[in-house]
Amino acid sequence: MAQQEDVFKKIVSHAKEYGFVFQSSEIYDGLAAVYDYGQNGVELKNNIKRYWWDAMTLLHENIVGIDSAIFMHPTIWKASGHVDAFNDPLIDNRDSKKRYRADVLIEDAIAKIDEKIEKEVAKAAKRFGESFNEELFRQTNPRVVEHVNKRNALHQRFSDAMNNNDLEELRQIIIDEEIVCPISGTRNWTDVRQFNLMFKTEMGSTADGAMTVYLRPETAQGIFVNYLNVQKTGRMRLPFGIAQIGKAFRNEIVARQFIFRMREFEQMEMQFFVRPGDEMKWFKFWKETRLRWHKALGLGDEKYRYHDHEKLAHYANAATDIEFEMPFGFKEVEGIHSRTNFDLSQHEKFSGKKIQYFDPELNESYVPYVIETSIGVDRMFLSVLCSSYEEQVLEGGESRVVLHLPAALAPVKCAVMPLVKKDGLPDKAREIVNDLKFDFSTHYDEKDSIGKRYRRQDAIGTPFCITVDHQTLEDNTVTLRERDSMEQTRVNVADLHKLIHDRVALTSLLRRLG
């Protein structure tokens, strides 16, 4: 675990050193849980968004996109339930004056018991070697059984408290489990209180009577309130979907793990409107479709798992997360939710407008049901970055840091390098750049030794390096070096475009999705 934490620290500093992610307002000592994307980060992020957008809008003829405003009428958040129920349970330690999420403190305590169980299993596996029967050991070892029983009882008590919104019980669990403040080491806890996560601001001058508006905490509501506009103007028939990418804001109290939990972040959400009664069929469809989208990137199938929700959000009748194995454990990257007709019905009620669909097959009108897929761009970015990072020791004792980014997502697709800065090689290299730059993000680099230049490109995940040497001037061939294998092949300049395209085009990823 400590080793994984070290790797994560290295990834965070690599992200800064190579222009992927910077702390916001760094020269003013930063702003907590807010980050900026640098010159390479923005390209990687844009490529992730393009992959999602095209997978939604090109591959599904019944999905269209919108781009709604961040500011919306404040009643929308009353209708959606966010004003009353978008809360985190918070608890303060009186000695350290630090504030925590009560649910996170308890989840951490559960995770500690899980760790103890896994440690026992790992110890026994080492002791028994080949003959180890893990399943039998888990079922019969008295220490493991005791931990499992304790864990399950605690988990049940915790879920009940969360589902019943029982704040006193949450506090009691913290007391009973003897959870201490990591800073003060004491158990001097306050009561648990609910804290709303929405940011507020004022719209209009006070003389006109300013109105309190919220920075949207999810992009989904912008889709719901445009449902009728899109359905009517696009003459959409059920089932159909509306996709949107945009910023969302949450006043997260426990903001940690770099860009995993931020106060300003970006979501890619799609609401799929279906006939009531069909929602479970579509829930299953989107669960599978979204996992296929993730796996097509080739980051490793074993790094994904589903986590079905026990505590459902106020609007959902089924929900699952797609979790990805980060260096700090399996974590939610995407949620797939069956949101019933809750949101549209609420907007009908609060706006007084009829929001219904006339189903020509059934010859009746109803409020559609909704399946939502909701993924955080920044979390997706983090999962791609973490799983791509590798420190390699090469033959001869040299080493390199390489990002094995999926080629279609890489910020730079190829780098063209004259072997030396003379003899007309730079001119030839520029000529190649000028040809490739219309289709691929292409770098030109003539500084330092060729080895150093390769390392620089490896560190930002550039799939191809093209080296121009004296032979190029004679026969119009170059060396094409591939990032992962470091293999170098001699190819004709005329073939470069196709060779690069075949590997880096987004189309090749999309084709895997069918």
Which residue's CB is nearer to ligand GAP, number 278 or number 332?
332
Closest by CA to 189, choosing from 213, 172, 169, is 172
Q: Residue 334 or 458: which CB sits closer to ligand GAP?
A: 334
Q: Please, which residues bridge with residue 22 across strands?
A: 36
- 445 touching ligand GAP, by CB under 6 A: no
- Smallest gap, in angstroms, from Cβ of residue 337 to ligand GAP? 6
CA distance between the termini of the chain:
38
| Interface with ligand GAP, residue 265, by CB under 6 A | yes
Q: Does 376 bind ligand GAP (CB under 6 A)?
A: yes
243 touching ligand GAP, by CB under 6 A: no
Q: What is the largest CA-CA distance in the chain?
A: 81
Binding status of residue 375 toward ligand GAP by CB under 6 A: yes
Q: Point out the residue whose Cβ comes nearest to ligand GAP.
A: 376
Contacts of ligand GAP in 109-148 (CB under 6 A)? none
Stretch that binds ligand GAP, among 19-27, 257-265, 287-295, 343-351 (CB under 6 A): 257-265
Distance in Å, CB of 376 to ligand GAP, minimum: 2
Sites for ligand GAP among residues 205-234 (CB under 6 A): 218, 220
State the CB neighbour count (10 A cutoff) for residue 127.
8
Whichever of 189 and 249 has its CB closer to ligand GAP, that residue is 249
| Binding of ligand GAP by 323 (CB under 6 A) | no
Does the protein bind ligand GAP through residue 82 (CB under 6 A)? no
Question: Alpha-carbon distance 381 to 234, whole Å?
Answer: 32
The rounded distance, in Å, linking the Cα atoms of 30 and 123 is: 43
Q: Binding segment for ligand GAP among 172-180, 258-266, 289-297, 467-475 (CB under 6 A)? A: 258-266
Evaluate whether 423 touches 470 at the Cβ level (below 8 Å).
yes
- Omega before residue 463 within 30° of 0, cis: no
Residue 333 interacting with ligand GAP (CB under 6 A): yes
Q: Shortest gap between Cβ of 332 and ligand GAP (angstroms)?
A: 5
Cα-based torsion angle of the residue sequence 56, 58, 59, 64 in order, rounded to the nearest 10 degrees: 50
Restricted to residues 379-398, the positions that interact with ligand GAP (CB under 6 A) are: 379
Closer to ligand GAP by Cβ: residue 244 or 462: 244
Q: Which two tokens stand for residue 398?
A: 């040299």
Task: Single out the residue of 68, 267, 388, 442 in contact with ligand GAP (rule: CB under 6 A).
Answer: 267
DSSP-assigned states of every residue in 450-484: HHHHHHHHHHHT-SEEEEE-HHHHHHSEEEEEETT
Interaction of residue 332 with ligand GAP, rule CB under 6 A: yes
CB of 1 vs ligand GAP, minimal distance in Å: 23
Subset of residues 415 to 434 that bind ligand GAP, contact rule: CB under 6 A? none
CB of 216 to ligand GAP, least distance (A): 10
Cα gap 326→329, rounded to integer Å: 5
Of 151, 216, 250, 290, the residue at the interface with ligand GAP (CB under 6 A) is 250
Say how many residues touch ligand GAP, by CB under 6 A: 19
Identity of the amino acid at 226:
N
Residue 37 sits in the site that holds ligand GAP (CB under 6 A): no
Residues in the chain: 514
- x/- map, 86-105, ligand GAP, by CB under 6 A: --------------------
Check binding of 374 to ligand GAP (CB under 6 A).
yes
338 binds ligand GAP (CB under 6 A): no
Our finding on whether 347 is near ligand GAP (CB under 6 A) is: no
Here the tokens at position 171 are 């506090």
- In sequence order, the 6+-apart residues with CB closer than 8 A to the CB of 101 are 88, 89, 90, 91, 253, 254
Say whether residue 252 binds ligand GAP (CB under 6 A). Answer: yes
In three-state form (DSSP H/G/I as H, E/B as E, the rest C), the secondary structure along 118-161 is HHHHHHHHHHHHHHCCHHHHHHHCHHHHHHHHHHHHHHHHHHHH
Among 476, 475, 461, 462, smallest CA distance to 429 is for 476
8 Å CB contact between 251 and 265: no
Binding site for ligand GAP (CB under 6 A): 218, 220, 250, 252, 261-262, 265, 267, 269, 332-335, 372, 374-376, 378-379
